[in-house]
Amino acid sequence: MKAAASAPAKVNLALHVTGRRDDGYHLLDSLVVFADVGDRVTVEPAPDWGLTVTGPRSAGVPTGDDNLVLRAARLAGGAPARITLDKHLPAAGGIGGGSSDAAATLRALAALDGRALPDVLPLGADLPVCLPAAPARMSGIGEVLSPVPPLPPLHLVLVTPDVAVPTGPVFAGLARRDNAPLPRDFPAWRDAAEMAQWLAVQRNDLEDPARATAPAIGVALARIAATEGCLLARMSGSGGTCFGIFDSRPAADAAAASLRAAHGQWWVAAAGLIPPESAAARRL
């Protein structure tokens, strides 16, 4: 018997850094959504824990105990399983690959034999939001999740220039750590254009330090913004994945095709959002 779960790409539509705790972790205020592209995790009972990493983005992904998939599975407890991780998302890209994989592993193990999903695991600030994989306002250092108004249909183009951007050094490069939070109340956005307008006055405070580390991010943002129909171009997480917002799938597909043609070494994907609370969608 096998069970599988999808690990959708996490996208920080806005990410404000509002402070820093005594332990060095930063306080965040972020609007997080999940795209319908991602990795896939399959589990099957086995005498011992094991991991195989496959797929077009498997190169360089750890295959041992340092992979978040195995760490999450062991910490959650229960009977061991053989885990296959099919990697489609670029690692170290600001779209939560490792955290989303870890969350998908926990969902797949729960589907396999009914074991409980742990509430808290010491596995990274992004894991809590990746467990439900639903749109959320994320604060604290990532552990405080609150609901957001229903989102309008959004079509994204995700672009990872050919750079891996480690998260810690980007936080360390912040010029200010006491930036303003997102507005207290979020409006009910009626369509993609209205949402893009609202997001345009929000920020990703990690963009400047990430661009300083990896200038290709600035190039990607400019190229996405210049595609036809792009309503807004921004960076997700600590980068280097950037995204454009479009109001239709054909517009997103056309932009993705032109970016792919011009930048063969970039990872480019057109995507929609996974429907909130949809377990079926998470099994993509």
Ligand X SMILES: C[C@@](CO)(OP(=O)(O)O)[C@H](O)COP(=O)(O)OP(=O)(O)OC[C@H]1O[C@@H](n2ccc(N)nc2=O)[C@H](O)[C@@H]1O
Residues belonging to the binding site are 90-100
- Give the active site residue among 10, 39, 101, 247: 10
* Choice from 38, 96, 135, 209 touching ligand ADP (CB under 6 A): 96
Shortest distance in whole angstroms from residue 39 CB to ligand ADP:
7
Binding to ligand X (CB under 6 A) within 205-244 occurs at: 237-238
Residue 208: what are its φ and ψ, rounded to 5°? -60, -50
**Alpha-carbon dihedral sign for residues 224, 225, 227, 229:** positive
Residue 108's contacts (CB-CB under 8 Å, 6 or more residues apart) are 3, 4, 5, 41, 42, 43, 83
- The verdict on 125 binding ligand X (CB under 6 A) reads yes
262 exposed, middle or buried (CB, 10 Å; 0-12, 13-18, 19+)?
exposed
| Active site (annotated) includes residue 87 | no
* Choice from 37, 95, 103, 159 touching ligand ADP (CB under 6 A): 95
Shortest distance in whole angstroms from residue 209 CB to ligand X:
11
| Active site (annotated) includes residue 10 | yes
- The verdict on 145 binding ligand X (CB under 6 A) reads no
Shortest distance in whole angstroms from residue 121 CB to ligand ADP:
13
- The verdict on 38 binding ligand X (CB under 6 A) reads no
In the chain, the amino acid numbered 51 is L
Q: Are 182 and 144 in contact (CB under 8 A)?
A: no
Angstrom distance (rounded) from CA 162 to CA 160: 6
Among all chains, which residue has been given the structure tokens 């990410």?
15
Number of residues that bind ligand ADP (CB under 6 A): 19
Shortest distance in whole angstroms from residue 61 CB to ligand ADP:
5
Cα–Cα distances (Å) from 188 to 94, 158, 192, 195, 207, in that order, read: 26, 24, 11, 9, 26
Return residues touching ligand X (CB under 6 A). Answer: 12, 15, 25-26, 28, 30, 94-96, 99, 124-126, 141-142, 167-168, 171, 237-238
Return residues touching ligand ADP (CB under 6 A). Answer: 61-62, 67-69, 85, 91-99, 101, 167, 237-238
